[in-house]
Structure 1
């Protein structure tokens, strides 16, 4: 199914949602989860070796979990889309006239006159009946189609890259300043992530940045509280 753009040199931002959602989710989870775990462990014990081991394990396990989770969830979405497309193909083969009338009804509901809607449905059916139904009845398009491997790679790669930031901060920080260093680096990284995500999706900069930073700070504070309360690695 093709979906040509009237202005290919200036694509819509919505075309980026497939990989952008997975990339932002992976990076955000990488920073928050690994930084929170490091802070929780550091709150329970000042031993650098235990902190770095816990952070490294969280990075590896988290990256694999994010990639696998994205692949499985987006694969389920892709399976549902494929099933709907197959049903439309069967309906077009069995009752083409009814399907054309259904397409015309969709266009009438969008504001076209009965005559125009019927003409549009007839012409689109003659050119690519299945493509017209997939696009206008199911609301699917080539740009927004589920891509499991793309989502898995984007999420896993960005998780790993982002999770490495607080881990490196913990490794480089002087003894006794690990928590403060990780918190500072994590907050700065979350602010940069929020700004980059907003820019990539053409969203308002300040609300997007505050949203990312706010939830990250809450997660780190909660984990630090648990570490101090119980004095165990979490």
Structure 2
């Protein structure tokens, strides 16, 4: 007899938590830092002020991303915990009703009532809370909220993203700094969008265009405001 080999499958849902936070952080790091530099440069600031702006934007942005991600994801985690606690209480109070509720879910998914009841019985014996978390609440281990992981991923990726326009600001000629920062930042954003799309199994060109478009819009708006403020002041 031939040995049965398990078909290897590659899924990407286990990357959703950290990938979302990392892409958001890096994108925000590039866009916000580059936009700050372009906006301040459009107001005729000197190179020292531009570097100070970029460094301040990096530090403030990284801390803001970490705090924002932690608070928002922790709120999601609190909601999940509350739902699971409610489910545990309902299972203790009326397990038969919970079993019927689970079976009804399987019927709506296409199982015959008798088979749905058998599946519900077996899953309830194996792990009642886990079965209800997956099939009633839609919760899973791969998509569960991890506040610390999200905060660290966002802060770290923001800092990495912000370092790119910061580095260009440090070495670009003052006379063409806006063009250098804008052009290289758009290139970085397009690369980021393509890599993120690749990691998530999506179309790389669409990912690059999407991120690049919004980055260009942000820098153009900031440059216009900076030029207007510089002219007024």
Tell whether the 8 Å contact from 1:64 to 1:156 is kept in structure 2 after alignment: yes
What is the match of residue 180 of structure 2? 181
Aligned residues: 227
Q: Please give the alpha-carbon distance, in whole angstroms, between the structure 1 residues aligned to 2:17 and 2:37.
A: 31
RMSD (Å), alpha carbons? 1.4
What is the match of residue 144 of structure 1? 143
State how 1:37-116 maps to structure 2 within 5 Å. 37-116=36-115
In the alignment, structure 1 residue 171 sits paired with structure 2 residue 170: yes
Q: Please give the alpha-carbon distance, in whole angstroms, between the structure 1 residues aligned to 2:170 and 2:42.
A: 16
* Other structure's SS at 1:140 match: coil
Post-superposition Cα deviations, 1:144-176, rounded to whole Å, max 9, x if no partner, equal 000000100110000000101001101101121
Tell whether the 8 Å contact from 1:107 to 1:117 is kept in structure 2 after alignment: yes
Q: Please give the alpha-carbon distance, in whole angstroms, between the structure 2 residues aligned to 1:169 and 1:115.
A: 67
Q: Please give the alpha-carbon distance, in whole angstroms, between the structure 2 residues aligned to 1:24 and 1:175.
A: 30
Post-superposition Cα deviations, 1:16-35, rounded to whole Å, max 9, x if no partner, equal 11011000000000000000
* Other structure's SS at 1:162 match: helix
Q: Please give the alpha-carbon distance, in whole angstroms, between the structure 2 residues aligned to 1:82 and 1:175.
A: 53
Q: What is the TM-score of this pair, normalised by structure 1?
A: 0.94
Q: Please give the alpha-carbon distance, in whole angstroms, between the structure 1 residues aligned to 2:9 and 2:189.
A: 28
Tell whether the 8 Å contact from 1:46 to 1:176 is kept in structure 2 after alignment: no
Q: Please give the alpha-carbon distance, in whole angstroms, between the structure 2 residues aligned to 1:223 and 1:209.
A: 21
Q: Please give the alpha-carbon distance, in whole angstroms, between the structure 2 residues aligned to 1:34 and 1:175.
A: 17
What is the match of residue 3 of structure 2? none
Tell whether the 8 Å contact from 1:70 to 1:148 is kept in structure 2 after alignment: yes
What is the match of residue 127 of structure 1? 126
Q: Please give the alpha-carbon distance, in whole angstroms, between the structure 1 residues aligned to 2:142 and 2:86.
A: 21
In structure 2, list runs of 5 or more residues that go unmatched: 1-5
Tell whether the 8 Å contact from 1:40 to 1:228 is kept in structure 2 after alignment: yes
Q: What is the TM-score of this pair, normalised by structure 2?
A: 0.95
Tell whether the 8 Å contact from 1:26 to 1:159 is kept in structure 2 after alignment: yes
Post-superposition Cα deviations, 1:64-91, rounded to whole Å, max 9, x if no partner, equal 0001100000000000000000000000
Q: Please give the alpha-carbon distance, in whole angstroms, between the structure 1 residues aligned to 2:137 and 2:198.
A: 30
In structure 1, list runs of 5 or more residues that go unmatched: 1-5
* Other structure's SS at 1:58 match: helix
What is the match of residue 13 of structure 2? 14
